[in-house]
Amino acid sequence: MKRETALKIGLKLLGLAFSIGPLLIAFSINDWDIQRAMVNAAEIESIENKIGGLFEPEAGGFEIGDAEYDNASHLLRLPVTLSLPFPFSIDLVDFDITAQFDSQEVTLSMEQDSITLSPNENVVVWLSGQVADENLVNAQPTNIQGSLTLQKYGVSIKFTVQESGGR
């Protein structure tokens, strides 16, 4: 009777070791960092290889459209088309820019909370912000500076966007 009980307990412990063991090995190989153990390294490497200069104006990663200004509400809206050449979907979680409009500095933020970007698609992201001056004559941005944040599997990648002069 004691042998059977010991055998049952031993087999249960062996099954537990076979199910938990590989997880413990994966975590120990990655210095007990859960995020590094769970994220596919090939996808992260693909992101790193493709992001070098991605949002530079000459790379064509983003294109700024024609701004829309509402005189009644003083709301300025700016469409930005993003072209991401990734072979997988990724989330755009934050996009903010500061630009000059008629020598007035305006901060524009992404209207949506988050956007999922699908492989090889162009997405229009609307940025909006309030303008202090009532008489905005030139609604085209100059001296653009900002940042956007992409996220995949909880890993955030922040880019800076900078364009001096006109579009």
pLDDT along the chain (167 residues), means of 10: 86 86 78 71 68 55 75 78 76 84 78 82 83 66 77 79 59
Q: What is the pLDDT of residue 138?
A: 61
Convert 134-153 to b/e letters by CB count within 10 Å (16 or more is b): eebeebebeebebebbbbbe
Residue type, 24: L
Q: What is the pLDDT of residue 53?
A: 56
Q: What is the pLDDT of residue 167?
A: 46
Domain ranges of the chain: 2-35, 40-163
Architecture of 40-163 per CATH? Answer: Sandwich (2.60)
Q: What is the pLDDT of residue 116?
A: 84
Residues near 98 by beta carbon (within 8 Å), at least 6 away in sequence: 105, 106, 107, 108, 144, 145, 146
φ/ψ region of 60 (left if φ > 0, alpha if ψ in -120 to 50, else beta) reads left
Q: What is the pLDDT of residue 145?
A: 79
CA distance 150 to 90: 7
